Amino acid sequence: MNYLKRYIILLFLIIDLFSFSILGQNNVCFDIESNPNPNDDALGLFDKYVNVLNCIEIYAVSSISDEKVLHAASIAAELLDNDEDGFVDDPIIESVLSNTITVMPIFNSENSNLIDQFFDHYDGCAGAILFRGEIDPSQPGHWGDDATVEEILHTINVCGHVPEYPALYSLEPNSSYLSEAMDIARGGQWLNVPSSYPDEAWYHYDDWTCDYECMAVEYLYWCIVTNMGILDDPQTCQGISNEWEPCTPALFETVDTLMFDLVNNSDNKLPQLAPDGNYCPENVEVVQVDLIKDNSDLFVYPNPFNPYVNIHVDFFKYKNINIDIYGVNGILIKSLFNSKYDQKVSQLRWDGTNNNQKKVSSGLYFCVINLDQKRLTKKIIFLK
């Protein structure tokens, strides 16, 4: 009878977990941390923090729910790592975003008095801002409901693409492929919003507070998300027609040939797939196996893991052994073993801590093992 009860309890736990995965919060392999810069005049205004692939740092005030903060982090990761292999698609963009300390600040509302304080003191790059009411994790990127894709795309474009690829994305008139294409899309070069756009224009932004450079940023956004298919439904097409006409991928390809070519050129490494709010590279279902064999010299199990992963190596076969754990950004997380300093052992365990003995965030890591002249790498996933 006891075995039957245990079986029933286990069955209900599995059902609950399955239901949560379907109906609950999206699967996001990031953790919200406390603000690492509490004394900074600009960044100290926030309470919640997520570092996204060492490219974009999400800062949010306390009133923003954890779900919304993680949604923003997931969208940022999906746009940067669109194929979700754990690596930023464009290493150059990764470098420039990291070096300029790019942030996505999230405030309670557009009436927050913290906004001016932030911009008065921040000297990094913040290409856009988000508000609590315009984040909807249940409708990623849907026009009118979730502005997360738009604002994070603006951030990546303004802080990354524009300065790093000026020939393609410079925002000034007559300065780039983008500005040339936009002048055609607007039916002429309008430095300010015209009283009316020509009939042949298909991009007719009419916010008089948005100057030419602002128009170019918005134009690039429309092109990328149209190509993704985010706008491809009758209600959305009708709702945005006063600003943007080619709302489907097919119309985009036919109407705006210049930007269609730019967005779809694989050399430009722009995101092609619409974010869905889930980001956990190689997020695989935990399988019931005792051992996962990767190589005759390397056994790593379980994977994903929590609380620890076992690493089996033939420590007595090799003279020089070095085992390290790296994050997806290539930064060393933990040095596990070095034969010059450690005695021979039969197996190692990693408990998800870094060299400072602090727990790392959930996500993808790389176990790199050097065996004499042989180098083995295993992707492992830590789930808190």
Confidence of residue 346 (pLDDT cuts 50, 70, 90): low
Residue 199 vs residue 24, higher pLDDT: 199
Query: Under DSSP, is residue 103 helix (H, G, I), strand (E, B) or coil?
Result: strand
Domains of the chain in sequence order: 17-139 (no CATH), 165-269 (no CATH), 293-382 (2.60.40.1930)
The pLDDT of residue 320 is 83
- Average pLDDT value over all residues in the chain: 86
Q: Which tokens belong to 262?
A: 């730019």
Quick check: 337 pLDDT over 70?
A: yes
pTM: 0.69
Lowest-confidence segment of 47-51, 189-193, 215-219, 329-333 by average pLDDT: 329-333
Q: Please list the alpha-helical segments (H only) found in the chain.
A: 2-23, 66-80, 91-99, 114-121, 148-156, 162-164, 166-169, 177-185, 212-228, 234-240, 249-255, 257-264
Please write the tens of the pLDDT for every residue from 50-93: 999 989 999 999 999 999 999 999 999 999 999 998 888 998 89
The pLDDT of residue 22 is 38
Please write the tens of the pLDDT for every residue from 264-310: 999 999 999 999 999 988 643 333 333 334 445 567 777 778 888 88
Amino acid identity, position 86: G
With residue 202 as reference, give the H or E element that holds it: none
Q: Which tokens belong to 131?
A: 């508000």
User: Could you write out the DSSP letters of every residue in 35-99?
Assistant: -S-TTSTTGGG--EEEEETTTEEEEE-TTS-HHHHHHHHHHHHHHHSTT-SSS-S-HHHHHHHHH
